[in-house]
Amino acid sequence: MIDLRSDTVTRPTEAMLESMREATFGDDSRDGDATVQKLEQMAAERTGKEAGAFMPSGTMANLVAMLTHAQRGGEVLLEEGSHTLNAELGGIAGVAGLFYRGIPGKRGAMDVATLRETIRPTARNQMGTALVWMENSHNRSGGAVLPLGHMREVYELAHEKSIPVHLDGARLFNAAHALGAAATEVARHADSVCFCVSKGLSAPVGSVLCGSKAFIERARAYRRMVGGNMRQAGPLAAAGIVALETMVDRLVEDHQTAKRLAEGLHRIDASLVDPREVETNLVRVEVRKSGRRAAQWSADLKQKGMLVAPCDIYALRFVTHRHIGAADVDQTASAFAELWKKS
């Protein structure tokens, strides 16, 4: 099977497995664990923040960020297609007790004029903005990358009003590659940032939330509250360390493979995808013109040996990663072409 459902399907490398066997087994929530601490420090350095806290998932890192930044009843402003609003099962309201307002955006970038009008202070009869949120790269917009100028504008706007900013950087290093910038340059436009080692970086589990020392100290308490204390997490952190050391630079290969796939699909029908819009390792493919739903396309592609996930009623998301090469995407485009002819 050619598995294009997600970059989370990547398997750990031999070097990761080796490092997991050699990892320390300290209790991270009691005396601390040296391997976890090393990963947290590396993550802080890579994002230009003071400290980091290892988390079991990106969803939990985001949830803990909300809990740490904002008081119950405050309002979070985030782009309306954000992963947090659409795929994290309402933790923002149900667990963190926050209200939210989706801001319309283009390719994941909030409309700044609307954001400016929507930010407001708490008053007797008015719920105030507690947190501003960005996502880079942006999952539902097909891995679109927020330009640094946009991020700076949002950050400055929020800071003028003394509102903290969080960056969901699940694929932060993909965004950095696409921008030709260091990850620190992307993360500097946010007070806190999280990224996943479990996606294109190929580690089996984990994300790191980074921010100031005081923020991370408070975040550790919220992590415990939501059940994220992992105890002997050394082996997981060990794989994360190898991921940061060896897997960041190769992400560019996934971007090239994604572009090749988009070009192949575009040749079949221009309505499917515009390759110029493919900036990272996600390819959003619109199948509306076929009149068939994404779920049907997914089932038909499976028959041909390709796993692809629907991301909307009429859209599929193809994700390239370490186990997908040029031959795989060419085969996928050929299979798609045969099905397209029949549809």
Q: Which residues bind ligand PLP (CB under 6 A)?
A: 57-59, 62, 83, 135, 139, 168, 170, 196, 198, 207
Instruction: State which residue, 210 or 333, has the beta carbon closest to ligand PLP.
Output: 210
Task: Match 């590396």 to its residue by tokens.
Answer: 42
Single-letter code of the amino acid located at 299 = A
Task: Match 């100028």 to its residue by tokens.
Answer: 149
Instruction: State which residue, 134 or 333, has the beta carbon closest to ligand PLP.
Output: 134
CB of 308 to ligand PLP, least distance (A): 15
Cβ-defined contacts of 328-331 (< 8 Å, 24+): 328/2, 328/257, 329/257, 329/258, 329/260, 329/261, 329/264, 330/260, 330/264, 331/2, 331/305, 331/306
Point out the residue whose Cβ comes nearest to ligand PLP: 58
CB of 140 to ligand PLP, least distance (A): 8
Task: Match 């990892």 to its residue by tokens.
Answer: 23
The one-character DSSP state at 144 is B
Instruction: State which residue, 76 or 268, has the beta carbon closest to ligand PLP.
Output: 76
Instruction: State which residue, 309 or 335, has the beta carbon closest to ligand PLP.
Output: 309
Question: 65 CB contacts (<8 Å, ≥6 apart)?
Answer: 166, 192, 194, 209, 211, 219
CB of 303 to ligand PLP, least distance (A): 26
CB of 338 to ligand PLP, least distance (A): 30
- Integer CA distances (angstroms), 221 to 151, 239, 265, in order: 29, 24, 47
Instruction: State which residue, 37 or 57, has the beta carbon closest to ligand PLP.
Output: 57
CB of 87 to ligand PLP, least distance (A): 7
CB of 170 to ligand PLP, least distance (A): 3
Distance CA 201, CA 60 (A): 18
Distance CA 33, CA 294 (A): 45
Instruction: State which residue, 36 or 201, has the beta carbon closest to ligand PLP.
Output: 201
